[in-house]
Amino acid sequence: MKTYSAKPSEVERKWYLIDADGVVLGRLAATVANILRGKHKTMFTPHIDTGDHVVIINADKVRLTGRKVTQKRFYWHTGYPGGIKSKTMEQILGGNHPQRVVEKAIERMVPKGPLGRSQLKKLRVYAGDEHPHAAQQPEVLDLAARNPKNKRSV
């Protein structure tokens, strides 16, 4: 028996819609990263983009466990002397672009390089509950109902 290797022309892409309201961030990111890579398909090939499109709504209502909301800090440097800056997760979620928390969590779970960048182009994240992808007829994926640990009340 020969090992099957998918060809880019054989890949059929589906669209998934995920509501992130109350879903734990890490569990959401891990599931979405697998869908973007195509690891949920039997035709998965590591060097070919076999993944599907994912639309995430309500990204501003994602949950974090423990005290990560107040204690987790993100640092960056401006390039100038003494230019180290930081923000807490609470400041990012309450800011102008709360969807970036979800985008960055998923980005860190996808391989680095040209293949990972092409897989991330199939991700669309929206802070509110509206999205412009109704014409693609995305299939609703209910992560909160899969496992009780996926959805946290507080």
Question: What band does 143 get if pLDDT is binned at 50, 70 and 90?
Answer: very high
Question: What band does 75 get if pLDDT is binned at 50, 70 and 90?
Answer: very high
Q: Is the dihedral of CA 146, 112, 89, 94 positive or negative?
A: negative
Q: Which position has the token pair 């974090």?
A: 64
Instruction: Judge whether 141 and 17 are in contact, CB under 8 Å.
Output: yes
φ, ψ for residue 141, nearest 5 deg: -115, 110
Q: What is the DSSP string of 28-62?
A: HHHHHHHHHHTTTSTT--TTS----EEEEE-GGG-
Q: What is the pLDDT of residue 107?
A: 97
For 13-30, how does the pLDDT look when each residue is reduced to its tens digit (9 = 90+)?
A: 999 999 999 999 999 999
Write the burial class of residue 32 (CB in 10 Å: 0-12 exposed, 13-18 middle, 19+ buried).
buried
Q: What is the pLDDT of residue 28?
A: 97
Give the bridge partners for 33, in sequence order: none
How many residues does the structure list for the chain? 154
Mean pLDDT of the chain: 95
What are the structural domain ranges in the chain?
12-144
Residue 85 vs residues 10, 57, 68: alpha-carbon distances, Å: 46, 29, 18
For 93-119, how does the pLDDT look when each residue is reduced to its tens digit (9 = 90+)?
A: 999 999 999 999 999 999 999 999 999
- What is the dotted CATH code of the domain comprising 12-144? 3.90.1180.10
For 132-142, how does the pLDDT look when each residue is reduced to its tens digit (9 = 90+)?
A: 999 999 999 99
Instruction: Judge whether 119 and 13 are in contact, CB under 8 Å.
Output: no
Question: What stretches of the chain adopt beta strand conformation (E)?
Answer: 15-19, 53-57, 73-77, 84-88, 123-125, 139-141
Q: What is the pLDDT of residue 1?
A: 82
- Evaluate if residue 153 carries a pLDDT over 70: no
pTM: 0.92
- Evaluate if residue 152 carries a pLDDT over 80: no
The number of CA neighbours under 13 Å toward the Cβ of 61 is 16
